[in-house]
Amino acid sequence: GQPITIDDYDAWHGRLPAFPADTLRAGAGVPLTSGSETVGVLGLAYNGGSTRTFGEAEVELLNRFAALASIALDNARLFAMSQEARALAEAANVSKSQFLASVSHELRTPLTSILGFTRIVKKRLEERIVPLVSAADAKTERTLQQVESNLSIILMEGQRLTALINDLLDLEKIEAGKVEWHMEPLQIADVVDQAANGTAALFEEKKLSLVRAVPRDLGVCGDRDRLVQVLVNLFSNAVKFTAEGAITVRAWQEPGQVVVSVADPGIGISEADQQQLFEKFIQVGNTLTGKPKGTGLGLAISREIVTHHGGRIWVESEPGVGSTFSFALPTRKEPENDGKSA
Ligand SMILES: Nc1ncnc2c1ncn2[C@@H]1O[C@H](COP(=O)(O)OP(=O)(O)O)[C@@H](O)[C@H]1O
Ligand SMILES: [Mg+2]
């Protein structure tokens, strides 16, 4: 690990096999390091006719070269390592995508038949068997009701599983940049209307109303179906977590961006939970009291979509008072029609 100078190579005890006696006269060497290891020697050798020795000046020069060479070596090593890591990550990503795609397919096939047969069994039970049981036989009637409600749970959970698989594939497609984005000039009001129509049944079911405060002339550039998907998710969340009252959708222009917000007077979300809502598979609140009703992927997908538009999405909420989910989209954005996400 120390620099050496050799004045008489033939007399030196450390002669290298590659250079036997009589090939060199004098030499000097300094260690070459990479990281904290010595990986080699940088040397000068002289084999001319006259006697020549190396002194401090040459060692100093060698040291400087060695320092530069060490940096270059480190860089090369780091670069090779990062290339390798990157290649590994890319390969892992590809196999993750393929794995997900085939697992989803394998899951969906039996799921379709489970759901199909459950529907048939439920229908037969209701149409053929229930009428046969007389109201007098209270015990059998109660059992039948239980069976019917069990079948309903199978159906609901089966549908939830189907939604989960679909959402998972969707998210994976967006993340892998495999989604084709159809960016076009859009009116926010149209997007809101389309999402409201798509979720009208949900509002009706829970007797909730939707108040719209969306001016007609707010334009953005975006993918219509994907932005509708974001709003459908925000609407259905608002409905899901609200018992009564009205849900309000607003939109307005700000410098350089259009903001859309969906406010509900529902259960609200604690400060701590707000931080993780947009992560995958997060369903917050008390998981002990209620069965999870969704997939926990809706907001993660929404965030991917909004981010792809160059915008952002956030939440403001107070437990027991309500929640407001908002997203902002830049007004002037060059269309990205290359079909790849960043
Ligand atoms: N409007 C809301 N009010 C209260 N909690 C909400 C609201 N929207 C979302 N959340 C919480 O965020 C979680 C994640 O939402 P999301 O990603 O859409 O998944 P999912 O709707 O499938 O549960 C929900 O499970 C819920 O706990
Ligand atoms: Mg949701």
Convert the pLDDT of each residue in 155-174 to its tens digit. 999 999 998 899 988 898 89
- Are 15 and 24 a contacting pair, CB within 8 Å? no
Q: What is d(CA 299, CA 277) in angstroms, rounded to the nearest whole number?
A: 7
Residues with CB under 6 Å of ligand 1 are 233, 237-238, 241, 264, 266-267, 269, 277, 282-285, 294-300, 323
Q: How far, in Å, from the CA of 307 to the mean position of ligand 1?
A: 19
Which CATH class, in words, describes the domain spanning 183-330?
alpha beta
Q: How far is the CA of 17 from the centre of ligand 1 (A)?
A: 73
Mean pLDDT, contiguous 10-residue spans, the chain (342 residues): 86 84 85 84 83 86 91 91 92 84 87 95 92 83 92 93 90 87 95 96 96 94 96 96 96 96 96 91 67 82 96 96 97 55 46
Residue nearest to atom 21 of ligand 1 (CA): 294
Kindly state the tokens that stand for 8: 């008489």
User: CB 255: neighbour CB atoms within 10 A?
Assistant: 5
Q: Which CATH number fits domain 87-175: 1.10.287, 1.10.12, 1.10.3470, 1.20.1260?
A: 1.10.287
Please report the atom of ligand 1 found closest to the CA of residue 237. 8
- The residues facing 28 across adjacent strands are 5, 44
Ligand that comes closest to the CA of residue 296: 1
From 119, 111, 207, select the one nearest 160 (Cα to Cα). Answer: 111
One-letter amino acid of 294 = G
Domain boundaries, the chain: 87-175, 183-330
Task: Give the residue whose CA is nearest to atom 24 of ligand 1.
Answer: 283
**Nearest one of 142, 341, 164, 322 to 244, comparing CA atoms:** 322
Calculate the CA 235 to chain-centre distance: 22
Reduced to 3 states (helix: H, G, I; strand: E, B; else coil), residue 19 is coil
Cα of first residue to Cα of last residue in the chain, in angstroms, is 48
